[in-house]
Amino acid sequence: MRLASARVVLPNVAALAAFAALAACAPGGRSARPGHGPARHAAEAAMVAADEAFSAASVGRDVPAFARLVAVDAIFFSARGLSEGRETVVERWRPLLSEGGPELRWAPQRAEASAEGDLGFTIGRWELTSGGEVATGEYLTVWRRGADGRFEAVLDGTYLDASSAPPAASASVVREVRSRTGDLVATLSRVEGPEGPAVSLSVARPAPGGAAHRVETRVLLARP
């Protein structure tokens, strides 16, 4: 979840105050609002559990457990570029999943799901320890519920704060993932901005009346 987008510059995979204003969106700490029914609550708890298990698999160098949490058609991105498909993602993460390699761990701080609980995302912080040095950052993972009921990571990357992200002059969609009812949409795009090419990942909800989408998360950026 997270090297400099896989979160750091390797392959790709609780500042509570920073998210205090988002407490209404976090599992176990949100006020009731339209569309936040039992299915959505349960899905958000399940995604947090899946994300925690994902981190445990990374720390434990458990390749089979890690692979089970990656969707077969997943796309992860890092400063080294896009990793498309489960096998490619696992191979890109091999240095992190091998004994003696860098240790990458992370923890979700926020989760939000679609009304039916079939799609959602987690946001959190990662920590990479390598050669006695520690790097940290933030990530976003989009989770999709499979036919067996388990959540799998389908899109994943590390992000810069939206305020520091350069405006995109143009963008081309690489992958769009929608919930069954279309109330949650995740979009991975290649963007061209003043500072050159980048990759962005955003999650949005259709605004009332079907107008333009209202972005719910920050934009993720990683230099290919």
pLDDT 10s digits, 75-87: 998 777 789 999 9
Q: Which two tokens stand for residue 34?
A: 């339209």
CA dist list (Å): 170 to 192, 197, 199: 5, 10, 11
pTM of the model: 0.80
The pLDDT, as a whole number, for residue 174 is 93
φ, ψ (nearest 5 deg) of residue 160: -95, 155
Q: Where are the domains of the chain?
A: 16-159
DSSP state of 169: S
Query: What's the whole-number average pLDDT of the chain?
Result: 80
pLDDT 10s digits, 126-177: 999 999 999 898 899 999 999 999 999 999 987 655 444 555 557 789 999 9
Q: Which CATH architecture has domain 16-159?
A: Roll (3.10)
The pLDDT, as a whole number, for residue 143 is 98
The pLDDT, as a whole number, for residue 191 is 79
Neighbours of 219 (CB within 10 A): 19
